[in-house]
Structure 1
């Protein structure tokens, strides 16, 4: 089994902070997303980026990984996990990272290296108390659910204890809520799935709101434009007001996570990110020169 350098995968230094890691992930996830990318091996690269982010975004997972990385391993080095996997017994801390990832989205297809470090995605461990309604013999696991399934209330397919199960996700379900599957745990017990939201390459979650960063060209920000913007319910047209600045926020009401219980539906918040396209041709460089001449060197003062 080969060691993986998750920092190199995201193109960040081991000292990178949470914001830098998130920015790198979003950039690479957009680049390699199989639905839009024409890059060679885009799907495999997309999976690698998601796996790296899954580890580095979580303080406990990152600490466990850094502990292993401190042993001097480099990409491609062969490592042999001890019996039971890393961080299981032998005086090592038990990080309890057994999780099940629903098919599709950012959570699927983790490598043998990941599973050896944090536990097999297909295995759920017996609960250890603190679970709502957990009875002796029940099996507990965390279920990372794609945001689209939360939005639609659709079913997701998981593999656990060697069985493939279709799990219905209640529309708008909240993190930490538990889905009980009767007699699907070990030894005839129930399987209790504690829901968490899987990392998404496009969206972030803030309560019931969905956050999305929209790249716009300088002329679109200056002159205004109508652009297609992805939402969990499909693309919608959004008008960019003239003279918009970087960081401006637009709101799509009711386009966040759906209402559930006593919680109303959230909104989608769009934050504008102004990006200057690279000039690849003589005509494009000439256009940039014309902009420079039109605005002059004192444009910052205005």
Structure 2
């Protein structure tokens, strides 16, 4: 019997080459938008089940590989019949709170057994020991610098009046202690999805200008050849704004210079990290007449041989 083909990649809004991290982020975004407790529009329940089904397949490398063998030639909603001899195998799946899967899912995976487990929403968390959870909290470098409070929202299971567990939206204010950095863990006691502790694992988002190395920041400083040769006072961008730095005479390509205290704050009482700038000597692509004369004069009079 033909069923309607489901393009799980299209449902989540990702490409077929999407990484697991991209798939997870796309699912999180759609789950927040379509969750029945948040979205009361007609049809949102079905869309919510659909994205959960798509994520159930694409989050699992084994299921994703089986699904991908069907090929990319099918269109969403097109009548679909598994190829002759197709056997998706006996696959364990998580029903959670979703109420089962579509006929399409069952047709491609054949016999499968359901188990009562966490729904894909719980993949926003990483199950820890003793009933605790871990959740990734993304921050910018500016967030690390200024600290303060961040507000996060997530879902957790709580007992309802009927004695059953129900998923409720939870909003928590999180204080960012001074000295946190990539990989730091913040403990929120009793705030886990099942009443245990919630540990926030910090992930620092990429910055267009700086990279993070512990508590130090790193960037590139472009200088002219004459500035590198003669030395100069050059402007340097820090996370807090522009400062002036003294470039020593004879500075070589790739040399690293350190600006003390221009990195990320460490714990109270400890010195801040530093800003490490790597020198990049930039040669002009086009010279005006006077510049060419000066470079030619330098070439004629200099005894310097970089290959010696």
1:241 aligned partner: 248
Q: Deviations over 1:26-58 (max 9, x none)?
A: xxxxxxxxxxxxxxxxxxxxxxxxxx9xx7xxx
Deviates further, 205-214 or 175-184: 175-184
- The aligned residue for residue 272 of structure 2 is 265
Partners of 2:290 and 2:255 lie apart in 1 by 26
CA distances 1:36-84 after superposition (whole Å, capped 9, x unpaired): xxxxxxxxxxxxxxxx9xx7xxxx969x9xxxxxxxxxxxxxxx98452
Query: Is contact 1:122-1:160 (8 Å) kept?
Result: no
Give 1:157 shift. Answer: 4.4
Aligned 8 A contact 1:153 1:172 in 2: no
- Against the structure 1 CA distance between its residues 83 and 241, is the aligned structure 2 distance closer, same or farther, given a 3 Å change threshold? closer
- Report which of the two structures shows the higher radius of gyration computed on alpha carbons: 2
Matches within 5 A, 1:37-186: 82-88=54-60, 90=62, 124-129=124-129, 135-136=130-131, 138-161=132-155, 165-186=172-193
Change (3 A) 1:256 1:159: same
Structure 2 counterpart of 1:296: 299
> How far off its partner does 1:274 sit?
0.9
2:278 & 2:288 partners in 1: Cα distance?
28
Q: How far 1:89 sits from its partner (Å)?
A: 7.1
- 2:163 corresponds to: none
Q: Partners in 1 of 2:288 and 2:14 — Cα distance?
A: 44
CA shift, 1:153, in A, is 2.0
Match of 1:99 in 2: none
Query: 1:246–1:83: structure 2 CA closer, same or farther, 3 Å change rule?
Result: closer
State the 1:247 CA deviation.
1.7
* Number of the residue aligned with 1:68: none
Superposed CA deviations along residues 125-162 of structure 1, whole A, max 9, x for unmatched, are 25133xxxxx41x3321223222222222334444336
Partners of 1:179 and 1:295 lie apart in 2 by 59
For 1:11, the equivalent position in structure 2 comes to none
Aligned residue number for residue 207 of structure 2: 200
Aligned CA-pair RMSD: 3.9
Answer yes or no: is the 8 Å Cα contact 1:231–1:268 preserved in 2: yes
- For residues 211 and 263 of structure 1, what CA distance do their matches in structure 2 show? 20
Q: Distance in 2 between matches of 1:292 and 1:5?
A: 53
TM-score normalized by the length of structure 2: 0.51
- How far apart in 1 are the matches of 2:177 and 2:207? 19
- Superposition deviation, residue 163 in structure 1: 5.4
SS, match of residue 201 in structure 1: coil
SS of alignment partner, residue 238 of structure 2: coil
TM-score scaled to structure 1, two decimals?
0.52
* SS of residue paired to 2:263: coil
Question: What's the CA shift for 1:3?
Answer: 5.3
Preserved CA contact (<8 Å) 1:124 1:139:
no
